[in-house]
Structure 1
Amino acid sequence: MWKFFLLPTTLFICTRVANGQLDRVDNELPGRVDYELPEIDGTIKLSGGNNREEGRLLIYHNFQWGTICDDNFGTSDAVVACRQLGYRTSMPIVYTIGGGSDPIWLDDMGCDGTELRIADCKHLGWNIHNCNHGEDVGVRCTGEYGVNGNWGSWSVWTACSSSCDSGHQTRSRLCNNPAPSSNGAYCYGKSFEVLNCSIASCTVNGIWGSWSVWTICSSSCDSGHQTRSRLCNNPLPSSNGAYCNGKSFEVLNCSITTCTVNGNWGSWSDWTICSSSCDAGHQTRSRICNNPVPSSNGAYCNGKSFKVLNCSITRCTVNGNWGSWSDWTVCSSSCDSGHQTRSRLCNNPVPSSSGSYCNGKSFGVLNCSIARCAVDGSWGEWSKWSDCNATCNGGVQKRTRTCNNPYPSAGGSACSGMADQILICAESDCPVLGAWSEWGVWSLCSTSCGSGNRTRNRLCENPPPSNGGEYCNGKTLDSDTCNTHECPINGNWGSWLDWTVCSSSCDSGYQTRSRLCNSPMPLSNGAYCNGKSWEVLNCSTAMCTVNGNWGSWSDWTICSSSCDSGHQTRSRICNNPVPSSNGAYCYGKSFEVLNCSIARCIVDGSWEEWSKWSDCNATCDGGVQKRTRICNNPYPSAGGSACSGMADQILICAESHCPADNCLCFNGGKCVTSNDGKVVCDCIGQWTGEFCLESQCMTYDCGFGNCFVEPMNGTAQCVCGNKQPTYCPGKRIRFKR
């Protein structure tokens, strides 16, 4: 919005108002028409001061102007206020002015000096205060005037960032039309806009969350274990995304000592078939100490592992068989029929139970001399019967006699008759003690893992016990542990837990339920449960409101100029995250400007176009026409040379003489009669020339100011800012056209 101020000269001065911010010009230029501030919420103005740069600080809110309290109102707050008003100053003055009658809108201000508007600063809230109008704050803004920034055009919308979920398009604009300079206010409003351009949900594959801590070891011996789990929620799979790959549950063996296990008998086996139909036939049955097998120094089962049952009472028929021959005796005689003898017993075995006696001789005789004795032999007395050579199984008693009374010799005849007599005795059967056979081969291990057992047996049959003989002493069954390595146990799922409460009432709210692979848990390289340990159920479809947050600032740009108002800019985008579903846009600036040069550029002055010729100021006696030009295209600055040539041109017109009594003077001049009788103009002040239309401003040095002649008194003066010295050093004020 442009505001125009008309001065009595031909110079038009204008200023621009945008979003409650005003580019100020000198407010003491004579004759300036006042302006109106736009009534926008948050607009401020100064009122009741001695000049336009100071006064009571008023702020517009809720369609009404109101005051601000002086509580905690300091220099930082005043800097923001003066900047919003268009003043370029770092040292404003704060004072208590009081006397207001409007509503008290704000109290306890907390500006940090970087805000664009007072309304953006921290405060208690609108119409919240603990003060009266005696505490109304006043501000005096001093210094030069800055240039407030204005937005350039919006860029075209970008391509949609994504075809699913929160795809968005953006566009931006720069505060460069013009860029703010000399502490002028930055553009008010957004530099960045976001437009949602997709509504479909993206497929999200699940990723495992962190593992839980390991549980306490379940046992101090044997297969103690620890477990830990994790959830597929970082993120959760959604929109048909894949579930996490891998285990949700792990088991760790945490004890290496083996628990002591005392053995216990298993069940008896069935009785075996009777080993014989006669004598000591027997049946056996056995049991194994494997329910459980004793381990880790546990006690072996107490009691017998083997039982024997006699199953026959008849005696078996046994035929006798000869035992070995005894050695030959010494030769009985050196002549005649000297002989040697040997004998054997029918005891291998002794005939029993009506078995036949041994067939053949029990006694052998061998001639051992060839010389003949002429003595007929004659028997000596019978010896006493020997003791029975057995107490059972058919022992024998024996008695002998010798053909030695005398011996037959030298061809004498031998004794006739038997030299031995045998008498059967102790015909009852003997008890036979049982003796073990060799151990059999080991059986196959009862299990392929987990500490199985194997057995081997032997029979009490070498020989078996009979006739009341004792059974073999010792075990008939021997057992041994085997395949002691642990068996793999495949895991099986436990029951599902209840569904959790929905995680959110909007966006991708979900419910979950889980189950553990603990019925049983996998052990010793057993297979983990097949399937999911975790299930996710979508339970909300509404989109959540997402407030925008600024992304990182870009790098500062290169300084735009090495002199005058060179500046650097940086920007940031409201995309971390992008606001969506009616979420609030980021609060604060999206664009910052940094002054990066303080040297003024040397600018040589140049004339603007000549104005049109004025009307002739007389109709006779040499009237004049005038035209002017200003050295403002551009103004000379920073030591640049002023325009060369005249700022005014006068053209003589109406040269015909007027009647003698007709005199025309301008700019306060009066007609007087000179010493020579002519009627001439008596000019005032700096005005000169025949008609008082010329002034010293044609050659007047104003430095960086402009020469101005007061039309009423002819005073020539330099105009620079709000001062009027005879020379203007420093910066020249620029007037917008």
Structure 2
Amino acid sequence: WCYKRECVPFGTRPEGVDGAWGSWSSWGECSRTCGGGVSSSVRHCDSPRPTIGGKYCLGERKRYRSCNTDDCPPGSQDFRELQCAEFDSVPFRGKYYTWKTYRGGELGLLGLSSSAASGQGGRNAETPSKDVCDTEGTAGSLPVAHCCCSSSQHVGCDRVLGSDSKEDKCRVCGGDGSSCETIEGVFNHSLPEGGYEEVIQIPKGSVHIDIRELNLSVNYLALRGDSGEYFINGKLSIDPPRRFDIAGTTFHYRRSPEEPESLEALGPTNITLFVMVLVRTEPQGIRYKFNAPVGRDGSSLYSWHYTPWTKCSVLCAGGSQIQSVVCRKLSDGSTVPNHFCSADTKVPERQRSCNTEPCPPAWAIGNWSECSRSCNEGVRTRSVFCKRKISASEEKTLDDASCSQPRPKMLEPCNNQTCPPEWVALDWSECTPSCGPGFRHRIVLCKSGDHSVTLPTSQCHEATKPPTSMRCNLRRCPPPRWVTGEWGECSAQCGLGQQRRSVQCLAHTGQPSMECVEALQPPGMQQCETKCESGPTDNPEECKDVNKVAYCPLVLKFKFCSRTYFRQMCCKTCQGH
């Protein structure tokens, strides 16, 4: 039968293929331009896709990371305020309200600022219709009330029944709010994990303190005094949520699985406090707000603060970030010259690693080489490799298929302009002679720029003409040697005689030479013997001296005739002796 357009034996079914994750995509656009947003990256189960009942990939298909964690510019609308404003056009109990973020402690909906719509479409201030009862007096700036007989009677801050006196934002009864200033902001700096980090300094005499995390996290708020002792969540020990009597006021510490952690106090405080955070993971943002007295000691007006982490030096494979230290004015968070802060309390600059994940595969392209020709279209080359950077010191070379296609060019033409006439030299001849000093020769022509036409030599510069001959010496010539000829006939027709040959000193060229070693000269004459057919006879007609021998008289004189050889050579002379 057929399976996927192929014929297979009947009843056969190929085995299933389990899926595998492909590469992560690039990080997407950040959800916010400032104040901390989220970016995401996805991957798909397509390398390969699961087929024929194969298993789908296990693990996360989408991942997230924080981005744009720097503070928003001054004057920007808070993100939570934007969320609340979306409900301005939604009727609540038949009326429209201007909704603002709730920053109180235990007031429920009454902590929201609202305005009811008038009949003409305008909005006028409206007091919530529900009576407010708070027997513990922790309602902040809202009036304190006594509850009895199902009704409430208002009491002013001067404790006179029916009085309209109210505390101002500085907790001064009947005051105008000029004795303090509001300090608020969001701390969302990136911090190293595993220790305490300072969020904000709360000066002595501060009121209406509200510290809270913007989102749920595994970090913990902590509170310590100016002498270093911790009052809440100190010594890496986590306290349960409850009330703490600290610095002359009561702090409400709240922490639940459903709501972000918070610290609230009515104040005033009788010592300087420091809000800290015990870092377990990247902070999601901590909002602080309090009113500090304006007549306090000048040294407490300024403090050292860490700036936001710089951008990572690289996008992947391990870079670094720097967190500098600046002096800031507490009232508005503005940066001031360092001499306003105490040098004794300055904290050191921080550095940390970032973007440690390996880079995606990419083409590593080298520089172009010089052009092979200065004219008439040469070529230039460069190296192109598919590489993946794992860390600052490690890099892997991959197959070309791992990088995006097409592959960048490795070769391209260059200098395609026509060349002027030039000298073209042909190949060198063999060295002559074959040994010892000699010469090579070649032909040099004047050619057109493309070498297609031979031109008169006058069209090429004589000064640039290559040489047409050059000295050479392939090897040393062999030395002169003795050359001998064939031996001649023996001088004696019978018995002993002599034979001669030619001996010459010749150079390697065959020419006579006088440079042969005399001691090595071969002999030119040697003794020889011819076999006699019959012995010597005393017959005078047959006995005679050898013509070539001129020393027979000497043989006779020195009485050598008794010897067989001399008797044969000088037969006639020795006859009768």
TM-score (norm 1): 0.20
Higher helix share: 2
Higher strand share: 2
Q: Which has the larger radius of gyration?
A: 1
